[in-house]
Structure 1
């Protein structure tokens, strides 16, 4: 990475951040005026669709919960790589992706046990207690002067870097999976076309907030103290909001998709049955492919990006954290702007099938851009665009696929798809980039060829899923 690249990127980001700051300030008085004149309400109906009062209360409440979950996730995500870089090295991140794949099996087994043990809302209480305790313990070790971040690099316990990386990855998988499972289980297909985009808007605001905290505070209070901040919010905020939802939202609004002829199964689907069910259903396997394909390609981009950031930060975890925080803000601002400018309305107009198929086409364009213009500035904005558009369009579209499915699919098999599928994809992407950094030294042109082949398969799978979903909803059926 040349000094010119660093200078250009820093200048572009400063201009971008300044424009955002003034734009946000200008929107406050404009928003107040539009609210009292009724124009704001009409714009929101145009962007998201028309809601009943009960639906609005429900999805705003869900949005507040998702705001907290995603805000904490992005805070942790932005300190994950600086922590790993400080204790291990960013050039070994591809190995950490593979390790997280191995760890996911016992984690999903534990999650499935909790699904059988607790009602759906109490899962939030159980998992909040578990993760808040884990992050408090991590904070205790990471801050230690003998083997933590304050110690010299040679004295730090490398194992802490590996543990922190895997735990944060699992939080991002399981807590987000739990939220989406809960929402899909309590949402009808028609409401889901609007509601998922509302909650995604709250999520992007949360992501901006979490990323901004890291960007502004990592060099002030240090990366280590952010672990205890995350632990306290997880312990108190998430359970409190879930309890409010269960008290405030009418019981009939918590009833989801009910297809004709379906009966709630009393039989528990365990660890092995959950994965058997996944691999016995082509529809669920298709979702597995869609989830995995995006992660494989973006992981290849992401690992290249992290090595460049480490070189830029010169080994300082606080500088690394500030940079990843700024990156998180940029991603989330793009996703939020896309949602507010009507990407949800576009998605409703073009339909779920086209929305799903657009993602591989856009990623293909990014592959060609990365191949022919491989600079740090290009990598930064390609990653911002890829992740921002996925959060704004790809994620809400993918989650709608679970609405016409059984409870076993929503909770058990979805956990496998979104945890094992995501981890498997990231491990595969890590393996692909590892072919370049290992003794094979595979050229990036060959790696781009692999990614293009993945996108082609992803494109055709998206069409299959869209047609299957439409048929099930039109005929009031359950896919699986």
Structure 2
């Protein structure tokens, strides 16, 4: 008779390879934590554009919201980098998770009652805020969700990378990212199924409660799971001087390997920002928000996320760990931009042969699902492992700049393109296609360098400091 543990071990072995009892416990706790983190993010993210459309106006102001969020995230990353020097990693996670969780609970109430924080025309602040289009709450909500998506996943994955070896990571990262896709499916599924009945406020509150649960699981991981230290080969010598809050930026600019990780990590954000704007522009014409308060548009966004989650889950179960073990990390980070180039070229062909707006909307839908799905399950797990042969300052400080500032800057570049060309869809599609294909070529070149450098570091047992 098979025990539950035996069945679980066989299931884990089927999808992610053999794991010991301690390894299964370790990655099980981490997987649940990341499940909650990503589930809450996609639950709120699926509603972000619809709420922004209601409070501000998506087609006209979303590109500018991307740019404003860059400044917002830079401030958050600077604050985060300072706290890295002052607090333990797990303590930092507890603080940020509690802050974001409580804040999302508050946002859940405010998006239902936006006039509570409205500034009257006769007040002193009205002259300061009068230039802001729409409601200030819409801008704050947009930037806040972007900040959560930049800081919390990066902080969690930095903790994971700093507590295990490359070989251990290859075993468990597939499991962690599989549970992330389950969280994505649940979060977007809740929006797609219950947005009309529960409304934006209740769903925001559910996301906040999920985030508040994360510190308890990470506390369990820290308490009960043995920490596997990364071997600091060739790192002997005098103790390095204490670094400051800009150290991550200095490392990013002075270490070619780290700069390469910036390109591999963020290049797709430029392309995806353009594709998502094209998709949502088509969707708002097919599902006008003024007819139902943005519910249909919110459903479309949630279905995009739900489809993304299903694809990502299937690939995480059947592809991530297998491709890493069979072909190596270099293959993974090169095959992803190659796929993006093929999809972009295909959509351009559809447009040139006269595809309808409805067909183009669903073509962009498929492209956005593929780009993000394979980013989460192929590209992201691969470059996260590539942080392992690096110093603490690179894993935490430089990585926070890459994930926060770098990712947001890339989105702002894409938003600049959409902002300038948003009035002419044809020009945006043609220009965006050729610009994206050029970026893909550069991306493949850099990914080849990073993959070769990683293999060299592993072979020589060295780290980047």
Query: 3-state DSSP class of the match of 2:197?
Result: coil
Q: Is the 2:252–2:259 Cα contact (8 Å) retained in structure 1?
A: yes
Residue aligning to 1:369: 346
Deviation of residue 79 (structure 1)?
A: 1.1
**Residue 334 of structure 1, aligned match among 302, 311, 324:** 311
Q: Report the secondary structure of 2:427's partner residue.
A: coil
Q: Which of 230, 247, 259 is residue 223 of structure 2 equivalent to? A: 247
Pairwise mapping of residues 31-110 of structure 1 onto structure 2 (< 5 A)?
A: 41-42=9-10, 44-91=12-59, 92-110=61-79
Count residues in correspondence.
439
Deviation at 1:147, TM superposition (A): 6.2
The corresponding residue for 1:114 is 83
- 1:313 shift after superposition: 3.1
What whole-Å deviation, never above 9, does each CA across 1:96-145 have from its counterpart, x for those lacking one?
Answer: 11111122221111111221121011111110222123323323332216
The SS at the match of 1:341 is helix
Match status 1:465 vs 2:450: yes
- From 233, 252, 255, the equivalent of 1:259 is 233
Aligned residue in 1 for 2:130:
none
Moved more, 375-384 or 63-72: 375-384
Q: Residues 439 and 471 from structure 1, CA distance in 2 versus in 1: closer, same or farther, beyond 3 angstroms? A: same
Summarize the alignment of residues 77-476 of structure 1 with structure 2, pairs less than 5 Å apart. Answer: 77-91=45-59, 92-144=61-113, 146=115, 158-235=135-212, 237-250=213-226, 253-262=227-236, 267-315=241-289, 316-374=293-351, 375-438=360-423, 442-476=427-461
Question: Residue 219 of structure 1 contacts residue 318 of structure 1 at CA under 8 Å; is this kept in 2?
Answer: yes
Q: Offset at 1:440?
A: 11
Q: What residue number does 1:3 align with?
A: none
1-structure distance, mates of 2:156, 2:332: 22
TM-score of the aligned structures, taking structure 1 as reference length: 0.86
Distance apart, 1:257 and its partner CA: 4.1
* Structure 2: gaps of 5 or more residues: 119-132, 352-359
Asked if structure 2 preserves the Cα contact closer than 8 Å seen for 1:401 and 1:469, the reply is yes
Task: Name the CA distance, whole Å, in 2 between partners of 1:257 and 1:161.
Answer: 46
The SS at the match of 1:220 is helix
Q: Which moved more, 1:164-173 or 1:83-92?
A: 83-92
| CA distance in structure 1 between the aligned counterparts of 2:425 and 2:361, rounded to whole angstroms | 24
Give the Å deviation of 1:158: 1.9
Give me the whole-angstrom Cα distance separating, in 2, the residues matched to 1:229 and 1:269: 39
Q: Is the 8 Å Cα contact of residues 247 and 393 (structure 2) preserved in structure 1?
A: no
Conserved 8 A contact 2:165-2:228 = no
Q: How far did 1:344 drift?
A: 1.7
Q: Rate the CA distance shift 1:279–1:426 in 2: closer, same or farther, 3 A.
A: same
Write the deviation string for residues 371-419 of structure 1: whole angstroms up to 9, x where unpaired: 1224112111121122111111111011111000000000000000011
| Aligned mates of 2:96, 2:348 — CA distance in 1 | 41
Q: CA deviation at 1:345?
A: 0.8
SS of 1:402's partner is coil
